[in-house]
Amino acid sequence: MEVVSLDHPLITDLVSQLRDKTTKPHRFREAVRKLSTLLFYEAARDLKTETVEIETPLMKTDGVRVSEKVGLVPILRAGLGMADGILQLLPEAQVWHLGLYRDEKTLEAISYYNKLSGAHPVEVAFVLDPMIATGGTAIRTVQTLEEWGVKRIKLIGLLASKVGLKELQEKHPNTQIYVCAVDPELNEDGYIVPGLGDAGDRQFGTYWGKEAV
């Protein structure tokens, strides 16, 4: 499995904004959108294309367009903030939502919403999940998409833990992963350390415990 951790000054600057507990929700959402766009740009590098005839103001010539059926799969709710920026790059992409939450006691991923349907799934799916912590949610999502019939699956995340990546590698070795940074460990509650807290709460202002800013 390919894991790409992007190392770029613009990305590290934005990640630092996400980590900073004083960053307000609107700034947090803006950074999530920008990072998602940058990650998708890299992850979409190998999308298949086809040649089409276009006409410039001067003459006819050949152009190129994406030929694959692309699906974006934001994981509710934290992944919602990642989709908008990507849709600006590829507005033709389909958007399929999956809802999962992590049981706080067992740390297992629990599915509560799945609207995948139809006999013709997308050709390539981009899973949008800001945090790969234990890896449970990512593993469950990839399994669901494989059962739907998707042949190529890529996962775009903002932060990952080494533990979560290892688990995902073992369960789904063919899934490509693109992240901004990899953190060394999880705490006793299963949160990435040093991390950035809960990505969903910080995007939407529904803070937990002492993380309220």
Active site residues: 102, 106, 198, 201
Q: What are phi and psi of 172, to 5 degrees?
A: -140, 75
Range list of β-strands (E), the chain: 3-5, 49-55, 60-66, 70-76, 94-95, 98-102, 109-114, 124-128, 131-132, 152-161, 176-183, 185-186, 192-193
- CA distances in angstroms from 31 to 24, 86, 124, listed in the order given: 11, 13, 25
- Paired strand residues for 62: 53
- CA distances in angstroms from 118 to 98, 111, 114, 200, listed in the order given: 15, 19, 13, 29
The residue among 135, 183, 176, 124 whose CA lies nearest residue 159 is 183
- Paired strand residues for 132: 160
Euclidean distance between CA atoms 166 and 32, whole angstroms: 24
